[in-house]
């Protein structure tokens, strides 16, 4: 059994000052050592806040946070030690004035690592992010993508036990982003580091992570991948829609454009037999399909997978399975309200260049 | 005015004002770091008092310390009146708000992510504060130089607390005042030129030093 990197119990955090309405409120969470966990959720879901808490930059207002079995907020020295083992790379990284070398060596310096070791560790870290030879360049003259890679190198040079990455490939072009993902995997394999990363990109989260934590409004939500759809949004000003497959339109309220990723909570989807009236008349956000999986859970609910032009996962109370004539291989109708569609990621049409 | 007297006056100016800039910086920069890094009740009032203090005329500060240090004053027993120490103390109080204000502005302009980044990379609070100071170092040096320039160019405090004593507390500005009072305007203008050259030299030295370190 692998060691536990993080153990969170009843963790709650609210920003001080006037009530903003936002509070991170998490049910117990365990993150194993050497695990890659992706945090996925819309803007304002609490991904960055959770990363800041895991990096010991924000102190939870309630609950317990253990890092490798240690409670780290009890004294300043212990917090600093924990910060030195859990390094965060922020979404918009800040590079200190000076050279790339100065930046990557900063963490080594504050840890009191012998100066003779700096060039080797800095060089290796820069090699990982394909910035070999950038040591003497001024940090101020780097592009956004290069700055992001220097920030990654700066964290990797420290060989932390936990690497916390807030949208690590946000400013990096697609080809290099894949290589960075490979570097992250390689780092985990070589060092056994635990990685927690936030991403709007579901496919990236799936590629990289052992587990995905979906967040919405500061809470964990149990969305399935099967209810996650992406596409280019179109709008008539009042409503918007994407067509993940031609002719299959997912409609949601508001005016949205650009490439979006959305999810629909399985509990918000109604299901009925194809001839049944409960799901309502066919219309927007109504789909037909065949039940391809039906499994009972511990909470008196059944998980139903419906495969049609799109595949949905729906939770249904067990006692309603018979009443709604739901069984394996049956044709069914599913329907949800446009308001149930939650956009968890959007990208403008133009991608930033490296 | 003989050369020796002139050199001594330059030395007194450099010594008292340099020391005042050093002492004021040691007080003002940490105060500015505290003010820039924290929000607390009464902060606006502190900043307002500091801004008002910046405008205090040198003679007012000179007069205040004259009362404090004169023989019948509360600090009269120290026997500091008409000494270079008294001039330095007065100048510290003159330039303290100036360096605090400029440093506060400089530190507020440092990207807030600088401190956060230092902490994420394992810096202690003290190390993170040093990072913030380092990021603002050019603006902080300008603040200190502005304080020094204000101290070396003032005449009210030097005259009231130093007494313009020949070969003891006479500095460049009090020498200018004396020469002007005697009607020796040419000497006054020459001394003014010397004051500017000395200040220019110090600015150049500091700038060159900063560039070579960067």
Q: Please state the ipTM of this predicted complex.
A: 0.77
Question: Which chain A residues touch B if contact means CB-CB below 8 Å?
Answer: 55, 57, 76, 80, 83-84, 87-90, 92-94, 96-98, 106-107, 110-111, 154-155, 158
Interface contact flag, A110 B123, Cβ < 8 Å: yes
The per-residue pLDDT for A113 is 95
Chain A positions touching B129 (Cβ under 8 A) are none
pLDDT of residue A19: 60
Residue A353 has what pLDDT? 36
End-to-end CA distance of chain A: 41
Give the pLDDT of residue A23: 82
Q: Parse chain A into domains and list their residue ranges.
A: 4-221, 228-347
B109 touches chain A (CB under 8 A): no
Question: What fold characterizes domain A228-347?
Answer: OB fold (Dihydrolipoamide Acetyltransferase, E2P) (2.40.50)
Which chain A residues are closer than 8 Å to B114 by Cβ?
Answer: 94, 96
Q: How far apart are CA A304 and CA A348, in angstroms?
A: 34
Question: Which residues, listed in sequence order, are joined to residue A314 by a DSSP beta bridge?
Answer: A304
With beta carbons under 8 A apart, name residues in chain B contacting A80: 122-124
Among chain A residues, CA nearest to B135: A97
Q: What is the pLDDT of residue A282?
A: 59
Asked, colleague to colleague, whether A4-221 and A228-347 share their fold, the answer is no
In this prediction, the residues of chain B whose per-residue pLDDT falls under 70 are 1, 213-214
**The tokens 């050093």 sit on which residue?**
B22
Which H or E element spans position B126?
A: helix B125-135
Range of the domain at B11: 3-172
Q: Please spell the DSSP secondary structure of A27-62, one letter per residue.
A: --EEEETT-EEEEE--TTSSHHHHHHHHTTSS--SE
pLDDT at res. A216: 76
CATH of the domain at B83: 1.10.3720.10
Name the fold adopted by A4-221.
Rossmann fold (3.40.50)
Domain assignment present for residue B81? The answer is yes
Do residues B18 and B117 lie in contact, with contact meaning Cβ atoms separated by under 8 Å?
no
Q: Do A84 and B122 touch (CB under 8 A)?
A: yes
Given a contact cutoff of 8 angstroms between Cβ atoms, the answer to whether B77 and B6 are in contact is no
Q: Which residues of A touch B119 (CB under 8 A)?
A: 57, 83
**By CB neighbour count within 10 A (0-12 exposed, 13-18 middle, 19+ buried), where does B153 fall?**
middle
pLDDT at A267: 84
Q: Which residues contact A9 (CB under 8 A, 6 or more apart)?
A: A28, A63, A64, A65
Can you tell me the distance from the alpha carbon of A32 to that of A11, in angstroms, rounded to the nearest whole number? 17
Residue A96, min C-alpha distance to chain B (Å):
7
Chain pair A-B, CB pairs under 8 angstroms: 53
Instruction: Count CB atoms within 10 A of the CB of residue A175.
Output: 9
Counting other chains too, the contacts that B179-182 makes at CB distance below 8 Å and 24 or more residues apart are: B179/B1
Record: contact B114-A154, CB cut-off 8 A: no
Q: Report the b/e string of A87-113 with b at 16+ CB within 10 A.
A: bbbbbebbbbbbbbbbbbbbbbebeee
Separation in Å, CA of A215 to nearest CA in chain B: 23
Binding-face residues of B in 136-195 toward A, CB within 8 A: none
Tens-of-pLDDT digits for all 354 residues of chain A?
458 999 999 999 988 766 656 789 998 999 999 999 999 877 778 999 999 999 999 999 999 999 999 988 888 889 999 999 999 999 889 999 999 999 999 999 999 999 999 999 999 999 988 899 999 999 999 988 899 899 999 999 999 999 999 998 877 777 778 888 888 888 888 888 999 999 876 667 777 888 889 887 788 876 655 688 878 899 998 999 999 888 889 999 998 888 787 888 888 899 987 665 544 445 789 999 999 888 776 567 788 889 888 888 888 888 888 888 788 889 999 999 999 998 866 665 544 333
pLDDT for position A222: 65
What pLDDT shows up at residue A280? 47
A-chain residues near B127 (CB < 8 A): 110
The reported pLDDT for the residue numbered A168 is 87
pLDDT at site A20: 58
> Is B22 domain-assigned?
yes
Asked whether A30 and A6 are in contact (CB, 8 A), the reply is yes
Nearest to B124 among A80, A154, A158 (CB): A80
Structural domain count of chain B: 1
- B40 in any annotated domain: yes
């Amino acid at each position: 059994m692998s060691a536990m990197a993080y153990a969170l119990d009843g963790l709650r955090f609210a920003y001080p000052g006037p009530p903003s309405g936002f509070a991170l409120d998490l049910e117990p969470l365990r993150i194993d050592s050497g695990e890659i966990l992706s945090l996925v959720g819309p803007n304002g879901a609490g991904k960055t806040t959770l990363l800041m808490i895991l990096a010991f930059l924000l102190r939870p207002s309630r609950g317990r946070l253990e890092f490798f079995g240690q409670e780290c907020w009890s004294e300043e020295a212990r917090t600093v030690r924990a910060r030195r083992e859990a390094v965060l790379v922020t979404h918009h990284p800040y590079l200190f004035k000076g050279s790339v070398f100065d930046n990557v060596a900063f963490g080594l310096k504050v840890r009191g690592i012998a100066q003779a070791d700096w060039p080797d560790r800095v060089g290796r870290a820069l090699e990982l992010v394909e910035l070999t030879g950038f040591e003497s360049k001024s940090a101020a003259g780097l592009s956004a993508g290069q700055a992001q890679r220097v920030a990654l190198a700066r964290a990797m040079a420290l060989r932390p036990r936990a690497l916390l990455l807030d949208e690590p490939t946000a400013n990096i072009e697609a080809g290099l982003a894949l290589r960075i993902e490979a570097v992250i995997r390689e780092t985990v394999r070589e060092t056994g580091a635990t990685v927690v990363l936030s991403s709007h990109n579901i496919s990236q989260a799936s590629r990289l992570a052992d587990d995905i934590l979906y967040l919405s409004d500061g809470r964990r939500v149990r969305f399935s991948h099967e209810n996650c759809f992406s596409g280019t949004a179109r709008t008539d000003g009042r409503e918007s829609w994407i067509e993940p497959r031609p002719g299959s339109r997912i409609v949601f309220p508001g005016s949205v454009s650009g490439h979006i990723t959305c999810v629909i909570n399985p509990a918000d989807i109604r299901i009925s037999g194809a001839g049944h009236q409960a799901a309502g008349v066919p219309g927007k956000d109504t789909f037909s399909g065949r039940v391809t999986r039906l499994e009972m859970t511990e909470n008196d609910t059944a998980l139903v997978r419906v495969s049609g032009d799109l595949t949905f996962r729906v939770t249904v109370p067990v006692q309603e399975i018979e009443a709604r004539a739901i069984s394996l291989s049956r044709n069914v109708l599913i329907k949800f309200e446009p308001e149930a569609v939650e956009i968890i990621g959007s990208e403008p049409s133009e991608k930033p260049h490296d | 005015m003989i050369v020796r007297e002139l050199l001594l006056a330059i030395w007194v100016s450099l010594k008292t004002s340099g020391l005042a800039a050093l002492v004021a910086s040691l007080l003002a920069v940490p105060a500015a770091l505290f003010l820039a890094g924290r929000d607390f009740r009464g902060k606006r009032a502190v900043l307002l008092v500091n801004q008002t203090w910046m405008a205090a005329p040198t003679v007012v500060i000179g007069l205040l310390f004259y009362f404090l240090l004169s023989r019948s004053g509360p600090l009269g027993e120290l026997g500091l009146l008409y000494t270079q120490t008294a001039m330095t103390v007065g100048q510290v109080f003159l330039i303290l708000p100036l360096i605090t204000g400029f440093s506060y502005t400089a530190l507020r302009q440092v990207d807030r992510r600088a401190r956060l980044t230092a902490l994420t990379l394992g810096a202690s609070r003290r190390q993170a504060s040093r990072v913030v100071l380092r990021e603002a170092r050019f603006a902080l040096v300008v603040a200190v130089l502005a304080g020094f320039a204000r101290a070396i160019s003032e005449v009210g405090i030097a005259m009231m607390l130093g007494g313009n004593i020949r070969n003891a507390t006479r500095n460049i500005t009090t020498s200018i005042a004396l020469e002007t009072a005697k009607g020796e305007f040419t000497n006054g203008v020459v001394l003014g030129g010397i004051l500017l050259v000395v200040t220019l030299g110090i600015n150049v030295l500091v700038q060159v030093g900063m560039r070579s370190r960067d």
